[in-house]
């Protein structure tokens, strides 16, 4: 520890050490978020890709992951696979000079190999709030060397988010109870509790999450759904094993006695718009609010 009693020589040494530490910290921070206005980008994660495009930098994308499908033009790019099941060979084969990945990309052992390669790597944290979305934009803008464009986009997105949430406000007594169903595979309902993107956007859009006694997504019992008594079922608009048409959905024992089943009230939305928490989230809020309450989106 440095103190005045150690003398001028020790103070000078301590000052030098502190200066060196600060320099190293700054250097490490810059290494984590390299500002390179000419980097060729591999974008991993739908929100990250949307931010890159919204910043006017889509022309620099060399490749993307499977979840990145908006704007539609990015689907012409090479696809390195699903963001949570990446292979180092596939990622590095497209030859990016900068990889920007959303939180949750993996698996971890694949990221270890990718991070060890001679490619700049920036991770963008998940977000469930307006501030979190703005932070994503700042990180991507800094990594791409376009901070002014990022500031402008953040200001636009912030204004849109505030307006959308203000327009979606409703008295507590009028709020609909919404059950987000992730899948009905095998006849079992996987639903959202608290602390999820689904929970966050339901609340932003003026609804109430019908399930609040657990965090994350998990399979729920028929009794739990009966207790939740949702007014509306919310699902992603998709096909395949995780999808269920209206007849199959409302015939499920867990759902058929709920208020939602009595009214056949189900809302299906684009999953990226609903859960992506990127530049288009204000649009998702307005669309969900309109679907729940019949207002203009």
Question: How do residues 47-72 score in pLDDT, each as one tens digit?
Answer: 999 999 999 999 999 999 999 999 99
Tokens of 50: 């949307």
Answer whether residue 222 is part of any domain.
yes
Answer whether residue 136 is part of any domain.
yes
Distance CA 267, CA 237 (A): 9
- Asked if residue 154 and residue 205 are part of one domain, the reply reads no
pLDDT digits (tens, 9 = 90+) for 115-152: 999 899 999 999 999 999 999 999 999 999 999 999 99
Confidence bin at 297 (pLDDT 50/70/90): very low
pLDDT digits (tens, 9 = 90+) for 3-47: 444 443 433 434 343 343 333 333 333 334 445 667 899 999 999
pTM: predicted TM-score of the whole model, two decimal places: 0.85
- Asked if residue 113 and residue 54 are part of one domain, the reply reads yes
- Asked if residue 45 and residue 156 are part of one domain, the reply reads yes
- Asked if residue 161 and residue 47 are part of one domain, the reply reads yes
Answer whether residue 13 is part of any domain.
no
Burial class of residue 103, CB neighbours in 10 A (0-12, 13-18, 19+): middle
Q: Does residue 270 sit in helix, strand or coil?
A: coil
Answer whether residue 24 is part of any domain.
no
- Asked if residue 175 and residue 162 are part of one domain, the reply reads no
Instruction: Single out the residue in 138, 166, 194 at which a domain terminates.
Output: 166
| Tally of domains within the chain | 2
- Asked if residue 200 and residue 131 are part of one domain, the reply reads no
Distance CA 284, CA 236 (A): 12
CATH number of the domain enclosing 63: 3.40.50.1980
- Asked if residue 46 and residue 162 are part of one domain, the reply reads yes
Distance CA 102, CA 136 (A): 9
Structural domain that includes position 238: 171-293
Round the CA-based radius of gyration of the chain to a whole number and report it. 23
- Asked if residue 140 and residue 67 are part of one domain, the reply reads yes
Answer whether residue 153 is part of any domain.
yes
Distance CA 290, CA 283 (A): 11
292 pLDDT more than 90: yes
Answer whether residue 148 is part of any domain.
yes
- Asked if residue 121 and residue 151 are part of one domain, the reply reads yes
288 pLDDT more than 90: yes
């Amino acid at each position: 520890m440095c103190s005045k009693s150690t003398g001028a020589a020790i103070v000078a040494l301590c000052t030098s050490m502190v200066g060196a530490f600060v320099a190293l910290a700054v250097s490490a921070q810059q290494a984590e978020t390299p500002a390179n206005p000419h980097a060729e980008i591999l974008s991993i994660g739908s929100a990250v890709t949307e931010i890159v495009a919204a910043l006017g930098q889509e022309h620099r994308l060399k490749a993307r992951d499977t979840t990145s499908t908006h704007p539609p033009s990015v689907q012409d790019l090479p696809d390195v696979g699903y963001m949570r099941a990446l292979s180092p060979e596939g990622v590095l084969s497209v030859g990016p000079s900068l990889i920007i990945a959303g939180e949750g990309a993996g698996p971890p052992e694949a990221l270890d190999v990718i991070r060890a390669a001679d490619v700049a790597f920036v991770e963008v944290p998940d977000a469930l709030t307006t501030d979190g979305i703005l932070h994503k934009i700042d990180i991507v803008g800094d990594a791409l060397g376009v901070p002014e464009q990022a500031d402008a986009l953040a200001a636009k997105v912030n204004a849109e988010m505030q307006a959308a949430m203000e327009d979606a406000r409703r008295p507590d007594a009028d709020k609909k109870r919404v059950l987000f169903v992730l899948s009905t595979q095998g006849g079992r309902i996987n639903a959202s509790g608290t602390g999820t993107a689904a929970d966050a956007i339901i609340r932003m859009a003026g609804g109430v999450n019908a399930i609040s006694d657990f965090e994350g997504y998990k399979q729920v019992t028929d009794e739990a759904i009966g207790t939740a008594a949702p007014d509306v079922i919310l699902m992603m608009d998709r096909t395949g094993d995780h999808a269920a048409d209206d007849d199959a959905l409302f015939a499920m024992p867990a759902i058929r006695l709920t208020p939602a089943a009595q009214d056949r009230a189900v809302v299906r939305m684009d999953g990226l718009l609903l859960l992506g928490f990127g530049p288009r989230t204000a649009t998702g809020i307005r669309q969900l609010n309109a679907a729940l309450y019949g207002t203009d989106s």
